[in-house]
C-alpha cells in the first residue's frame, strides 16, 4: 500500500463535494481518476499532498512517501536553463560527483586508506543511482517532450507558459518519486509529445494516478479507473473503454434493482389495499349480522 483514503468528507462553503470517498493505491498501479467537471478530482490530489485537509475521514500514507505532483503552474529558480532545470532532479548525483573529484585530487597527492575507502563508497552509491546514465536519460526526456537541442540553453524565465509546464513534467519524470500525481498532463502537449508520454508511461514502473478527460490517453496508460460520482469513489478494473462497459452494466443492474424494489412496493401496496378492503367488508358484514 502506498496510500489509502478512508471515508473522506470535504465541503467548500457548505457545498459537500466529497461524501465518503475511500480507495487505496498500491505500488506499480496505473490509475485513471475520472469524473465530471467539479466532481472533486483535483481536490482529492490536494488532500493527498496535504494542501487541503479533509473535514472528516483519514488519509494513511506510507512513511516518507515521496509524491511527485504535476502542478498546473510550474516555476523555476533564477538562472536556470532548460538543461540545468531538467538535471536539477539529480542534484544528489551532482554532489556525489563533486565530492569524488575532490577525493581524486587528494588521491593524486596521497592515497590514504581512508580516502580510498570513501571514494569506493561514493562510487558504489553513484552506480546504484544510475549515475552514469542520468544525463542521457534527462536528454531523452527533454527530446520526447519537444525540447530540441537548440532549446537546451534557453533560460527558463524566457519560456512560455506551455514550455514551462512541459519542462516541469520533464523534471517531475526525472525526480524518481514513489507515486506520480498528474492533473491533466496532456493539456500542454502537442500530439507527438502526448504519444511520447503514453509510451514512456507504459514502461514506467512507478505507480501513478492520472486525472484526464482524454479517454484515448487513459486507455493507453491506465489499468484501473476510479470514478468520482456524487461524492464517492467507485473503482473499476481495466482501462477506460472497459470502465465504460462495466459502468453501463453496473447502472443497468442498479436500474433493475430499483425496478424490482418499485414493483415490490406496488405489489405490497395492492396487497395492503385489498386486505384493508377485505377487512372493511368483513367489518361491514359483521355489523350487518
Ligand X SMILES: Nc1ncnc2c1ncn2[C@@H]1O[C@H](COP(=O)(O)OP(=O)(O)OP(=O)(O)O)[C@@H](O)[C@H]1O
Give residues in contact with ligand X (CB under 6 A).
12, 17, 35, 37-43
Q: Residue number with the shortest CB distance to Mg ion?
A: 42
On whether the CB atoms of residues 166 and 144 are closer than 8 A, the answer is no
Q: How far is the CB of 220 from Mg ion (least distance, A)?
A: 21
Q: How far is the CB of 186 from Mg ion (least distance, A)?
A: 13
Cα gap 40→137, rounded to integer Å:
35
On whether the CB atoms of residues 186 and 207 are closer than 8 A, the answer is no
Q: How far is the CB of 42 from Mg ion (least distance, A)?
A: 3
258 binds, among ligand X, Mg ion, none (CB under 5 to 8 A by kind): none
Give 35 or 168: the residue with its C-beta nearer to ligand X. 35
Give 40 or 131: the residue with its C-beta nearer to ligand X. 40
Look up residue 155 and give its DSSP letter: B
38 binds, among Mg ion, ligand X, none (CB under 5 to 8 A by kind): ligand X
Give 6 or 42: the residue with its C-beta nearer to Mg ion. 42
Q: How far is the CB of 231 from Mg ion (least distance, A)?
A: 15
Spatial strand order of the sheet with 56-61 comes to 15-25, 3-12, 56-61
Cα gap 186→197, rounded to integer Å:
9
Q: How far is the CB of 213 from ligand X (least distance, A)?
A: 7
Give 39 or 86: the residue with its C-beta nearer to ligand X. 39
Coil vs helix vs strand at 222: coil
Give 96 or 233: the residue with its C-beta nearer to ligand X. 233
Q: How far is the CB of 122 from Mg ion (least distance, A)?
A: 43
Name the CA radius of gyration of the chain, rounded: 29
On whether the CB atoms of residues 240 and 225 are closer than 8 A, the answer is yes
Contact call for residue 187 and Mg ion (CB under 5 A):
no
Show the cell assigned to 205: 514502473
Give 184 or 195: the residue with its C-beta nearer to ligand X. 184
Cα gap 167→150, rounded to integer Å:
15
Backbone angles phi, psi at 129, to 5 degrees: -95, 25
User: Cβ atoms within 10 A of the Cβ of 25, count?
Assistant: 21
Contact call for residue 42 and Mg ion (CB under 5 A):
yes
* DSSP-assigned states of every residue in 73-93: S----TT-BHHHHHHGGGHHH
54 binds, among ligand X, Mg ion, none (CB under 5 to 8 A by kind): none
216 binds, among Mg ion, ligand X, none (CB under 5 to 8 A by kind): none
Would you tell me which residues interact with Mg ion (CB under 5 A)?
Answer: 42
Amino acid at each position: 500500500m502506498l496510500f489509502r483514503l478512508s471515508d473522506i468528507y470535504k465541503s467548500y462553503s457548505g457545498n459537500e463535494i466529497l461524501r465518503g470517498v475511500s480507495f487505496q493505491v498500491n505500488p506499480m498501479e496505473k490509475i485513471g481518476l475520472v469524473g465530471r467537471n467539479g466532481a472533486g478530482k483535483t481536490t482529492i490530489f490536494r488532500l493527498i499532498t496535504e494542501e487541503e485537509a479533509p473535514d472528516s475521514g483519514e488519509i494513511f500514507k506510507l512513511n516518507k512517501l515521496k509524491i511527485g505532483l504535476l502542478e498546473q503552474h510550474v516555476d523555476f529558480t533564477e538562472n536556470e536553463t532548460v538543461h540545468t532545470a531538467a538535471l536539477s532532479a539529480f542534484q544528489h548525483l551532482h554532489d556525489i560527483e563533486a565530492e569524488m573529484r575532490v577525493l581524486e585530487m587528494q588521491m593524486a597527492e596521497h592515497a590514504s586508506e581512508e580516502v580510498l575507502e570513501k571514494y569506493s563508497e561514493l562510487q558504489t552509491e553513484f552506480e546504484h543511482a544510475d549515475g552514469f546514465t542520468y544525463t542521457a536519460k534527462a536528454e531523452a526526456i527533454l527530446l520526447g517532450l519537444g525540447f530540441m537541442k537548440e532549446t537546451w540553453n534557453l533560460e527558463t524565465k524566457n519560456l512560455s507558459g506551455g514550455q514551462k509546464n512541459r519542462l516541469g513534467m520533464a523534471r517531475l519524470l526525472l525526480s524518481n518519486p514513489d507515486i506520480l500525481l498528474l492533473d491533466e498532463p496532456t493539456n500542454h502537449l502537442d500530439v507527438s509529445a502526448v504519444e511520447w508520454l503514453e509510451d514512456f508511461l507504459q514502461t514506467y514502473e512507478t505507480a501513478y494516478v492520472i486525472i484526464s478527460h482524454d479517454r484515448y490517453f487513459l486507455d493507453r496508460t491506465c489499468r484501473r479507473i476510479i470514478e468520482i460520482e456524487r461524492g464517492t469513489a467507485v473503482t473499476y478494473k481495466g482501462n477506460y473503454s472497459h470502465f465504460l462497459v462495466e459502468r453501463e452494466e453496473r447502472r443497468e443492474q442498479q436500474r433493475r434493482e430499483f425496478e424490482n424494489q418499485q414493483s415490490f412496493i406496488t405489489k405490497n401496496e395492492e396487497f395492503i389495499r385489498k386486505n384493508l378492503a377485505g377487512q372493511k367488508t368483513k367489518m361491514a358484514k359483521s355489523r350487518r349480522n
